[in-house]
């Protein structure tokens, strides 16, 4: 896939549009069923938001996008990755599988959905946030998901 959350059915970019622009279609290409990758990348750079998968090798056990049927073969070297981003203050996951990878890698407590805990990576303290899934299968209305993400970005001082 070309970038993070490219599936038009997934609401991640609609949530971000609501949080920052009060417009869920902000990142949608007008008249098309796709997101504007260039606009998204520019936005992330402007806000200082970096994205990466928690695994570099996975196996889909069924032919669908559900994390329930995802087997992590090779987790991302998060310690090495974060060493390249010294200004990073928080790690945020948008699903249970990603949260499981973080907890498994660092032995930290798992935060409740919408909350955070502290994550110690070789003496470096980061906030670890577990956000609601942006999948439409996750049983929470879009506006409530946006409220949770709004609280996250506000707590991190990203406006």
5 in any annotated domain: no
Q: Is the pLDDT of residue 1 over 60?
A: no
2 in any annotated domain: no
The 3-state secondary structure of 50-64 reads CCCCCEEEEEECCCC
51 in any annotated domain: yes
User: What value does the mean pLDDT take over residues 11-38?
Assistant: 97
* CATH number, domain with residue 135: 3.40.470.10
Cα separation, 42 vs 39, in Å, equals 5
What are 92-114's pLDDT values in tens digits? 999 888 999 999 999 999 999 99
Domain of residue 96 covers 12-155
Q: What is the pLDDT of residue 62?
A: 80
34 in any annotated domain: yes
Q: 119-122 long-range contacts, Cβ below 8 Å, gap at least 24?
A: 119/91, 121/78, 121/79, 121/82, 122/79
Q: What is the mean pLDDT of the chain?
A: 93
Q: Is the pLDDT of residue 20 over 80?
A: yes
User: What value does the mean pLDDT take over residues 58-77?
Assistant: 81
4 in any annotated domain: no
What are 132-150's pLDDT values in tens digits? 999 998 999 999 999 999 9
Q: What is the pLDDT of residue 59?
A: 85
Distances (CA, A) of 43 to 17, 21, 36, 37, 47: 10, 11, 11, 10, 6
Q: Is the pLDDT of residue 155 over 70?
A: yes
Q: Return the exposure string of 38-69: e unless at least 16 CB atoms fall within 10 Å of the residue's CB, then b.
A: eebeebeeeeeeeeeebbeebeeeeeeeebee
113 in any annotated domain: yes
Q: How many domains does the chain have?
A: 1
16 in any annotated domain: yes
3 in any annotated domain: no
């Amino acid at each position: 896939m070309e970038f993070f959350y490219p599936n038009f059915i997934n609401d991640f970019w609609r949530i971000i549009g609501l949080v920052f622009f009060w417009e869920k279609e902000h990142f949608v290409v007008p008249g098309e069923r796709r997101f504007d990758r260039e606009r998204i990348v520019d936005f992330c750079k402007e806000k200082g938001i970096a994205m990466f998968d928690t695994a570099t090798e996975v196996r889909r056990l069924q032919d669908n996008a559900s994390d329930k049927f995802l087997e992590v073969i090779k987790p991302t070297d998060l310690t090495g990755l974060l060493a390249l981003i010294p200004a990073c203050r928080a790690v945020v996951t948008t699903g249970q599988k990603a949260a499981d990878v973080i907890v498994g890698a660092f032995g930290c407590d798992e935060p409740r959905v919408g909350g955070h805990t502290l994550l110690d990576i070789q003496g470096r303290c980061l906030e670890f946030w577990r956000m609601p899934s942006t999948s439409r299968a996750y049983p929470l209305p879009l506006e409530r998901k946006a409220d949770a993400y709004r609280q996250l970005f506000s707590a991190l001082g990203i406006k």
